[in-house]
Amino acid sequence: MTTEAHSSDPTAAAPANRDAELISRILAGERELFHELIRPYEKSIYFAAYSILQNEQDAEDAAQEAVLKALKNLANFRAESKFSTWLITIAINEARGRLRHDRVLKFESVDQPTENEEGSFTPALITDWREVPLQALERKELREMLQSAIAGLPEIYRGVLILRDVEDMNIADTARALGVSEGVVKTRLLRARLMMQKILAPQLKSKGGSKGLFGLFRDKAGGAWF
């Protein structure tokens, strides 16, 4: 993370000004500034690629390639979209391109949109949710449980969930980055979130009482989330 005052929140207005200024200087010849331009978005690029490729090395390679392509094509960037969204779109396209090389056709059907399936998705029906505190993330087992649940989602749901809920992109930018409508993002997000709930709520609930894994459950009662 850069130490510049305005770069900690790439979604605020100030970073857009910062990006615009950096881009015009880079295009005028100060190419070294490209390092600073991409620094706040390095993590998002990686996880956008990872959401598709599901492999650390492949995601890193795709992220590197996306950054080089962004540098090469910076003159084509148009300021009507955010630089971060444009960059993430390049990373997603790079990752998708790599996936097509590696995958046999039968797996591609998993990626076909299923938004026409408007039927309700049934969540895990539980009562009396005992909240899992953030401190519990210090437990490796919990992190693996969360990562494994996301990895198990079909790609179209995983992509939306990672951009929206892990990277905190808004719905409009998520739609633009994935090349789908905002309505499609909302539909996929609903399914992705309920799938996560269905997979994880019973697992977390069953672990909640065990001493060894989530003793922290008992220390943090009550309190609203978000």
Which residues lie near another protein (CB under 8 A)? Answer: 31-32, 34-35, 38, 42-43, 46-47, 50, 56, 60, 63-64, 67-68, 71, 120-129, 131-132, 134, 136-138, 142-143, 146-147, 150, 161, 165-166, 168, 171, 186, 189-190, 193-194, 196-197, 200-201, 204-205, 225-226
CB of 64 to another protein, least distance (A): 5
Contact yes or no for 163/51 (Cβ under 8 A): yes
CB of 106 to another protein, least distance (A): 29
CA of residue 197 relative to chain centroid, distance: 17
3-state secondary structure of 70: helix
CB of 118 to another protein, least distance (A): 9
CB of 108 to another protein, least distance (A): 26
CB of 219 to another protein, least distance (A): 15
The helix/strand count (H/E) of the chain reads as 11, 0
Cα–Cα dist 97/106, whole Å: 16
Query: Burial, 116: exposed, middle or buried (Cβ in 10 Å; 0-12, 13-18, 19+)?
Result: exposed
Provide the angle, in degrees to the nearest 10, between the axes of the packed helices 13-27 and 83-102.
80
CB of 146 to another protein, least distance (A): 5
The CA-CA-CA angle for residues 157, 163, 167, to 5°, reads 140
**Residue 116 vs 127, nearer CB to another protein:** 127
**Residue 67 vs 178, nearer CB to another protein:** 67
**Residue 99 vs 189, nearer CB to another protein:** 189
Tokens of 208: 């909640």
Cα–Cα dist 84/13, whole Å: 12
**Residue 28 vs 225, nearer CB to another protein:** 225
**Residue 29 vs 105, nearer CB to another protein:** 29
3-state secondary structure of 28: coil
Closest CA to 176 of 88, 99, 115: 88
**Residue 14 vs 166, nearer CB to another protein:** 166
